[in-house]
Amino acid sequence: MPQLACQNLSLGYEGKTVITDLSFHVNAGDYLCIVGENGSGKSTLMKTILRLKSPIKGEIVTGDGLAHNDIGYLPQQTMVQKDFPASVREVVRSGCLNRCGLRPFYNRAEKRMAEENMNLLGIAPIAKHCYRELSGGQQQRTLLARALCAARKILLLDEPVAGLDPKATVEMYDVIKSLNSNGITIIMISHDIAASVKFASHIMHIGNHASLFFGTTAEYLKSEAGRIYSGWGRAPA
Amino acid sequence: MGACTGMTEIITTLSANFQYLFVRYALIVGVLIALCSSLLGVTLVLKRFSFIGDGLSHVAFGAISIAAALNLTNNFLLVLPVTVICAVLLLRTGQNTKIKGDAAIAMISVGTLAIGYLIMNLFSKSSNLSGDVCTTLFGSTSILTLNEAEVWLCGILSILVIAVFLLFYHKIFAVTFDEDFMAATGVKAKTYNLILAVIIAVVIVLAMNLVGALLISALVIFPALSSMRIYKNFKAVTICSVIVSVVCALLGIFIAILASTPVGSTIVAVNIAGFLAFSMAGLIARRA
């Protein structure tokens, strides 16, 4: 049974439909990249999976023992965070809040989990640093560690390499790949088709009003959409 | 020698003042209000809620004028619920409507200010109307005229605000830092926003007694901005804001007693001085 299955989804915002009749499923351990033009509804799709929005039509079914709070999320950075006085440790620990319920403080297990995830992502040495003074790559690692505190089954990443320099971009992709190798399902929105093809096991390409393609990466490269778009990411021969 | 006698004089004047019950009340309430109002400063500044605070204080002014026109003995009973309801409504409009957040706040704040003054003019039986308006807007003496019941009410409300803040400290941090993430991972972000709105409303109604309706935002924002010049994590900023706010309030009240200046604007002036000092310190620390 897939961890996540979407059936005949229609999505939109402000009364405008951007995606109609989208069906796909994600199994445990998959690495799905969602690619497509701006405004094609990638972020709307992600927000719907996260239940921040409700679909116009269709439904999202979770299975394989996946509960709503098993989904971790790496959002795009917001304006607020650019001048927020918070230490790396404070941000990472806040990922544990969905386990706290009404308990006002973090317990020992949650604190330990935050430390483990900071170690995993190599940000333990900067735990006391101020979040807003970090480099883009370090900020994304911090938010990724927070997402791992919230959930260890599925991660939804919204353009995780946006604004990163080339070195930080490569490192970020490596981190994500190694998390995926550890059994975490990855669903990622990306503009970088070349990297998507390189790392992902599955690709979903959404165009305006229709899903152009959903399938494995190998199938994508053979498909019409794949042949047209994946050429963009390559250097001309 | 001169400085020494000056000091003794100040101490004598102050201790003479402490004999009066109303001065002691003013100090207790002033400290409690300063404490509460600084707690939420960071959240208000960063969530772009500073304007909501400002808008709400005008709402509270409107409510006070209605309470005065109705001849209510305790205007808290009207002002508090009205302000809380407006806080919740403003938070809702900020999220999704045709009238965008900023415009809605401007509309409500200017509207209630005008209606409030209109009602005071039409129905007030007071002989000193402009004095009344001035007191409500700038809190010139209201902190010194509290009766025992009002002191108790202020005290209880302040302690409630502090307790709620401590209980939800981590949630308030998280909802301020990244509301979407919290909602996505199953934390009830909307509920915590609602709690925030209610606390903000209570703080504003409280702070009106100390600095008056127009100057409340200063009391909320300055301590947070000051501490953010120097400290870089949420806990340190919060603790520092509280200390800055309480110290400024105490200093302000002392200066106001000694120099017979209006309490509210003196406290705000001390806060401004504090902000300048912290900015300087921050600059120097960055250079070093």
Cross-chain residue pair A151–B176, CB shorter than 8 Å: no
Same domain, A47 and A87: no
Domain limit, last residue, from A90, A117, A152: A152
Same domain, A48 and A158: yes
pLDDT at A116 over 50: yes
Is the minimum CB–CB distance between A60 and chain B shorter than 8 Å? no
User: Are residues B177 and A80, on separate chains, in Cβ contact within 8 Å?
Assistant: yes
CB contact under 8 A, A52 and B234: no
Whether B183 and A52 lie within 8 Å, measured CB to CB: yes
Angle at A164 between CA A163 and CA A168, to 5 degrees: 170
Q: Residues A148, A164: one domain? A: no
Percent of chain A topping pLDDT 70: 93
Distance, in angstroms, between B208 CA and closest chain A CA?
28
Residue A7 inside a domain? The answer is no
Instruction: Return the axis-axis angle of helices B76-95 and B101-123, rounded to nearest 10°.
Output: 160
Instruction: Convert the pLDDT of each residue in A20-76 to its tens digit.
Output: 888 888 988 899 999 888 777 888 888 888 888 888 888 888 877 777 678 888 988
Of A72, A84, A133, the CB nearest to B185: A72
Nearest Cα residue in chain B from A73 = B181
Interface probe with B: pick from A87, A94, A107, A155, most Cβ of B within 10 Å: A94
Confidence of residue A210 (pLDDT cuts 50, 70, 90): low
Residues 127-156 of B with CB under 8 A from A: none
Same domain? A92 vs A115:
yes
Query: CA Rg, chain A, in Å?
Result: 18
> B164 — contact with chain A (CB < 8 Å)?
no
Q: Please list the residues that pair with A25 across neighbouring strands.
A: A5
CB B150 within 8 A of CB B76: yes
Token digits of residue A68: 């709503």
- A91 and chain B in contact, CB less than 8 A: yes
Report the alpha-carbon distance of residue B42 to residue B237 in Å, rounded.
8
Q: Give how far Cα B187 sits from Cα of A23, B94, B112, B170, B233, Å.
A: 28, 20, 35, 12, 22
Cα–Cα distance, A217 to B84 (Å, whole number): 54
Residue numbers of the domain that contains B212? 2-287
**What's the burial of A94, exposed, middle or buried (CB within 10 Å: 0-12/13-18/19+)?**
buried
Neighbours of B1 (CB within 10 A): 5
Residue A87 pLDDT exceeds 90: yes
Cα A108 to Cα A118: distance, rounded to the nearest angstrom: 15
Is B237–A52 a contact, with Cβ atoms under 8 angstroms apart?
no
Residue A93 pLDDT greater than 80, yes or no: yes
Same domain, residue pair A128 and A184 = no
Which of A136, A152, A168 is the C-terminal boundary of a domain? Answer: A152
- B185, A87: Cβ pair inside 8 Å? no
Q: Are residues A140 and A83 in the same domain?
A: yes
Amino acid in position B70: L
Residues A166 and A108 in one domain: no
Give the distance from CA B203 to its chain's centroid: 6
Interface contact flag, B185 A98, Cβ < 8 Å: yes
pLDDT at A237 over 50: no
Provide the CA A57 distance to its chain's centre, in angstroms: 23
- Residue B277: the pLDDT is 96
Based on the fold, state whether residues A133 and A160 are members of the same structural domain: no
**Same domain for A160 and A45:** yes
Domains held by chain A: number: 2
DSSP calls for chain A: --SEEEEEEEEEETTEEEEEEEEEEE-TT-EEEEEE-TTSSHHHHHHHHTTSS--SEEEEEE-TT--GGGEEEEPPP-HHHHT---BHHHHHHGGGHHHHTT-SS--HHHHHHHHHHHHHTT-GGGTTSBGGGS-HHHHHHHHHHHHHHH-SSEEEEESTTTT--HHHHHHHHHHHHHHHHTT-EEEEE-S-HHHHHHH-SEEEEE-SBSEEEEEEHHHHHHSHHHHHHHGGGSPP-
Contact: B233, A68; criterion CB under 8 Å: no
pLDDT per position as a tens digit, B74-122: 777 888 898 888 888 877 665 554 555 667 777 878 888 888 888 888 8
Give the nearest chain B residue to A96 (CA atoms). B185
Asked whether the beta carbons of residue A90 and residue B167 sit closer than 8 angstroms, the reply is no
- Alpha carbon of A91: minimum distance to chain B alpha carbons (Å): 8
Nearest CA of chain B to the CA of A142: how many Å?
Answer: 13
Is the same domain home to A97 and A214?
Answer: no
CA distance A27 to chain B (A): 20
Contacts of B170 in chain A (CB under 8 A): 93-94, 97, 100, 104-106
pLDDT at A221: 82
Vertex B280 angle, CA B276 and B284, to 5°: 170
Give the residue numbers spanning the domain of A134: 78-152
CATH of the domain at B199: 1.10.3470.10
**CATH number, domain at A204?**
3.40.50.300
Closest chain B residue to A127 measured between Cα atoms?
B233
- The total of structural domains in chain B comes to 1
Identify whether the C-beta of residue B174 lies closer than 8 Å to the C-beta of residue B187: yes
Question: Is A49 inside any structural domain?
Answer: yes
User: Is A100 within 8 Å of B184 when comparing Cβ atoms?
Assistant: no
- Which of A152, A186, A211 is the endpoint of a domain? A152
- Asked if B286 has any chain A CB less than 8 Å from its own CB, the reply is no
Which of A83, A90, A147 is facing B233, going by the closest CB pair?
Answer: A90
Backbone torsion region of residue A134, taken as left when φ is above 0, otherwise alpha when ψ lies between -120 and 50, otherwise beta: beta
Contact B223, B216 (CB under 8 A): no
The predicted-structure confidence for B171-210, as pLDDT tens digits, reads as follows 999 988 888 888 888 888 888 888 888 888 888 888 887 7
A108 and A87 within one domain: yes
**A160 falls within a domain:** yes
A201 domain residue, yes or no = yes
Query: What's the CA gap between A101 and A69, in Å, rounded?
Result: 12
Verify that A197 and A140 share a domain, yes or no. no
pTM exceeds 0.95, yes or no: no
| Domain assignment present for A230 | yes
Q: Which chain A residues are closer than 8 Å to B232 by Cβ?
A: 85, 87, 129-130, 132-133
